[in-house]
Amino acid sequence: MNLEQIIFKEIRQIAVETGAAVSSELNRDTKVFESGLDSLGFAVLVAKLEETLGYDPFVRMAEPIYPVTLGEFVDVYAAHESQ
Amino acid sequence: MNRLRNWLKSRAADAPVFITSGTALSSSDVLDRIDGLRWLRQAAANKVVAVWSHDPLDALILMMALDGAARQLLLLPANTIEERALDFARRSGCTHWIGDAHELPCCVRLVPSGLAATDTPDIEDTQWVLTTSGTTSTPKLVSHNLAALASTAKADTGKGYSYCWGLLYDPARFAGLQVALQALRGGSALALAPETVPFEEQIDFFARVGVNALSATPTLWRKLLMSGRAKYLPLKVVTLGGEIADQKVLTAVQSEFPQARVRHVYASTEAGVGFSVADGLEGFPAAWLNVPPQDVEIKISEGELVLRSARTAAAYHDGRTLRDSKGWVATGDRVESDGTRVRFVGRLNGAINVGGDKVFPEAVERVLMSHPSVAAAVVRGKKSAFSGALVEALVVPAPRQGDNAVLRRDLLEICRMHLPKHAVPALIRFVAAIEANSTGKQDRSL
């Protein structure tokens, strides 16, 4: 699975666990907070991805980035992957 | 110290005071509503009264009417569960209540008697009793007088009319009350976000009505930055509070709102408003340990932040004093100084702050341990760049326990049943054993 697939899968998983309604269609243009996750769910997503992927790019980055769309979110992970 | 409604009298009659999605009340509108509550002031005279309303506007009007009439005013947040509300009411000696909540069985609901109301003389100093939040078995009641509560609310210097504050918090909570008092005292309008709509719509409402001053937790600020709507809010005043404000979020809000004055506020329901930091950096200058800023003395005592100021609450409501013999209040917050800067590290009692909501590890551990397949559990905070911290659980499964994946699901389910959302562990790790620290206690440190 590529990064995008891993991330979307994790979003759906969290939605199932927390009972959040996640839109059936997740794509790069979907806004993070329109995906069905609330701010707590989003924080949990980042923590779970750290378990799965082994890193948290938001901790790694020097300049803060707050992604608006899922595409931007995935790009943040891609940008910090190689470290 | 003038009564709340006296603050309004110095405004133009048509100056906007409260704005909701359905209505806008001017100064004279609000004063009319308060006048219409003369029966309430009479019925509540010198009594201990609870205000419990789901409508923030209703709650604020009631507070303004009852200040100076009731001997004590107990503020119950809208989302207080009935059991807790009863507990608070009993502990505070409440006899009467008013508001649009369903009912408060231990108290008499105040209603108009149908007789003509007479003016009752003002009580010198109504005590305002606030509740603290947190998942602990005994949330506390804290008493303040209005002077202390409003001490950092700056009076209007003539420019107040140019600000419109957005209220995201419940006005019955300390943080919400601070914003409301600032708007009232400062001659500014207060926009009350509609309650049950998503955050994004609340922001849209603020943008529509011209909110240019906003106080929120770092978690909510991050959410605002990610909502794509920050550009619609022409903010001149940005305040962060309720959680540790890390450098990243401070840098990000200043960069998103270059015209704004950004400050983070250290405050707690017990300590009152401590101090605010406006230099754009996290923590506060170590120099303040020697030279008190804003008439609050600050020191570090065994790693704990300790404050002394006329603004701190005199006591917990049950009379236990918050101050030591020299007037210092222990805040319960851990801090570390590097000589130049003092930074907040976390709560002394190990409470985990998840996006502004406090979680006590023991409460979560108890729920986990109630499952027969759990031999031991320890819960700790895990740092989150988005919510400050998340709840992480280490679980030692019972011998011959089967599939951990099934156990994980079961544990999450019982946690969801017994705990508020933010207290449910974000991560559950299964471990062979839990380390004990040198005192033999479970080691919660990382």
pLDDT tens sequence across B360-398: 898 899 899 899 999 888 899 998 989 989 999 999 998
Query: What residues of A are in contact with residue B248 (Cβ under 8 Å)?
Result: 64
pLDDT at B134 over 90: no
Q: Mutate which of A13, A17, A31, A44 to test chain B, going by most B C-beta atoms within 10 A?
A: A44
Q: How many angstroms separate the CA atoms of B186 and B111, rounded? A: 32
Q: Does the distance separating the beta carbons of A48 and B355 come in below 8 Å?
A: no
pLDDT of residue B272: 66
pLDDT at B350 over 50: yes
Q: Does the distance separating the beta carbons of B355 and A43 come in below 8 Å?
A: yes
Write the residue in A43, A51, A63 that is nearest to B386 by C-beta. Answer: A43
pLDDT at B31 over 50: yes
Q: Band of the pLDDT at B446, cuts 50, 70, 90?
A: very low
Per-chain mean pLDDT for chain B:
87
pLDDT of residue B188: 95
- Sequence-distant (6+) residues with CB within 8 A of A11 are A22, A26, A35, A36, A37, A45, A70
Q: Which of B332, B282, B272 is nearest to B146 (CA)?
A: B272
Q: Mutate which of B202, B226, B419 to test chain A, going by most A C-beta atoms within 10 A?
A: B226
pLDDT at B91 over 80: yes
Q: What is the ipTM of this complex?
A: 0.89
pLDDT of residue B148: 79
- Sequence-distant (6+) residues with CB within 8 A of B244 are B218, B282, B344, B346, B353, B388
Q: How many angstroms separate the CA atoms of A67 and A80, rounded? A: 14
Considering chain A, what percentage of its residues have pLDDT values greater than 90?
Answer: 49
Q: Does the distance separating the beta carbons of A31 and B222 come in below 8 Å?
A: no
**Number of CB pairs, chain A paired with chain B, less than 8 A apart:** 65
pLDDT of residue B325: 73
Do β-strands B272-277 and B261-268 pair in parallel, antiparallel, or remain unpaired?
Answer: antiparallel
Backbone angles phi, psi at A10, to 5 degrees: -65, -40
pLDDT of residue B273: 64
Q: Band of the pLDDT at B261, cuts 50, 70, 90?
A: very high
Q: Does the distance separating the beta carbons of B412 and A17 come in below 8 Å?
A: yes
Q: Does the distance separating the beta carbons of A40 and B387 come in below 8 Å?
A: yes
pLDDT of residue B243: 85
Q: Does the distance separating the beta carbons of B227 and A64 come in below 8 Å?
A: no
Overall size of chain B counted in residues? 446
For B230, nearest residue in chain A (alpha carbons): A68
Angle between helices B218-226 and B247-256 (to 10 degrees): 50
Q: What is the pLDDT of residues B170-186, one digit of tens each?
A: 999 988 999 999 999 99
Query: What residues of A are in contact with residue B384 (Cβ under 8 Å)?
Result: 43, 46-47
For B254, nearest residue in chain A (alpha carbons): A64
Q: Does the distance separating the beta carbons of B386 and A42 come in below 8 Å?
A: yes
Write the residue in B248, B355, B427 that is nearest to A51 by C-beta. Answer: B427
Q: Which of B63, B261, B57 is nearest to B159 (CA)?
A: B261
Summarize the confidence of residues B413-439 as an average pLDDT: 84
Considering chain B, what percentage of its residues have pLDDT values greater than 70?
Answer: 91
pLDDT of residue A3: 92
pLDDT at B422 over 80: yes
Q: Does the distance separating the beta carbons of A18 and B426 come in below 8 Å?
A: no
Report chain B's C-alpha Rg in angstroms: 23
Q: Which of B274, B281, B391, B359 is nearest to B322 (CA)?
A: B274
pTM for this predicted structure:
0.80
Query: What residues of A are in contact with residue B200 (Cβ under 8 Å)?
Result: 33
pLDDT of residue B186: 92
Q: What is the pLDDT of residues B38-83, one digit of tens each?
A: 999 999 999 999 999 999 999 999 999 999 999 999 999 998 888 8
Q: How many angstroms separate the CA atoms of B354 and B36, rounded? A: 42
Q: Does the distance separating the beta carbons of B426 and A43 come in below 8 Å?
A: yes
- Sequence-distant (6+) residues with CB within 8 A of B186 are B153, B154, B155, B156, B160, B163
Q: Which residues of B touch A (CB under 8 A)?
A: 199-200, 219-220, 222-223, 225-228, 248-249, 251-252, 354-355, 382-387, 390, 392, 412, 416, 421-422, 426-427
- Quote the tokens at residue B99: 């508001």
Q: Does the distance separating the beta carbons of B382 and A43 come in below 8 Å?
A: no
- Sequence-distant (6+) residues with CB within 8 A of B426 are A43, A44, A47, A48, B382, B390, B391, B392
Query: What residues of A are in contact with residue B385 (Cβ under 8 Å)?
Result: 46, 56, 58-59
For A64, nearest residue in chain B (alpha carbons): B248
Q: Which long-range contacts link B319-328 to residues 24+ away (Cβ below 8 Å)?
A: B322/B142, B322/B270, B322/B271, B328/B297, B328/B299, B328/B301
Q: Band of the pLDDT at B349, cuts 50, 70, 90?
A: confident
